[in-house]
Amino acid sequence: MRRTRAGRSRKLIKTKEKVIISALVCIALVAMILQPGSNNEALAVSNFKQPINMMYSFISQRNFNHIDEMNGPTYHYFRSIQLKKKEAVTEQDQAIPDDKVPDKDVKEEEAANTEKAENTNQAGLDKADNQEVAQEQNNQEINLHKVYLTFDDGPSAYTTSILESLNSHGMKATFFMLEPNMKKYPDELNQIINEGHVPALHGVSHNVSKIYRSEQTVVDEMKQGQATLLNLTGALTHLIRTPYGSAPYMKPSYKEAVQAAGFQLWDWTIDSNDWRYSNGEFVGKVIQQMENYRYKSSPIVILLHDRKSTAEHLPSLLTYLQSHGYETDVLNEKLAAYNF
Pairwise CA distance, residues 201 & 210, whole Å: 16
Tell me, yes or no, if 152 is annotated catalytic.
yes
Tell me, yes or no, if 238 is annotated catalytic.
no
**Which of 267, 235, 230, 243 shows the shortest CA–CA distance to 150?**
267
Instruction: With both helix axes pointing from N to C terminus, report the angle between 2-33 and 72-94 in degrees, rounded to the nearest 10.
Output: 120
Of 66, 197, 206, 305, the catalytic one is 305
Pairwise CA distance, residues 161 & 321, whole Å: 18
- In eight-state DSSP terms, residue 153 is E
| CB distance 280 to 313 below 8 Å | yes
Query: 3-class SS at 169?
Result: coil
Pairwise CA distance, residues 299 & 295, whole Å: 8
Of 152, 153, 274, 306, the catalytic one is 152
Q: Cα–chain-centroid distance for residue 330?
A: 33
Q: Cα–chain-centroid distance for residue 324?
A: 37
Long-range contacts of 72-79 (CB under 8 A, 24+ apart): 72/40, 72/41, 72/42, 72/43, 72/44, 72/47, 73/32, 73/38, 73/39, 73/40, 73/41, 74/29, 74/32, 74/33, 74/50, 77/32
Rg for the chain (alpha carbons), in Å? 48
Q: Which residues are catalytic?
A: 152, 305
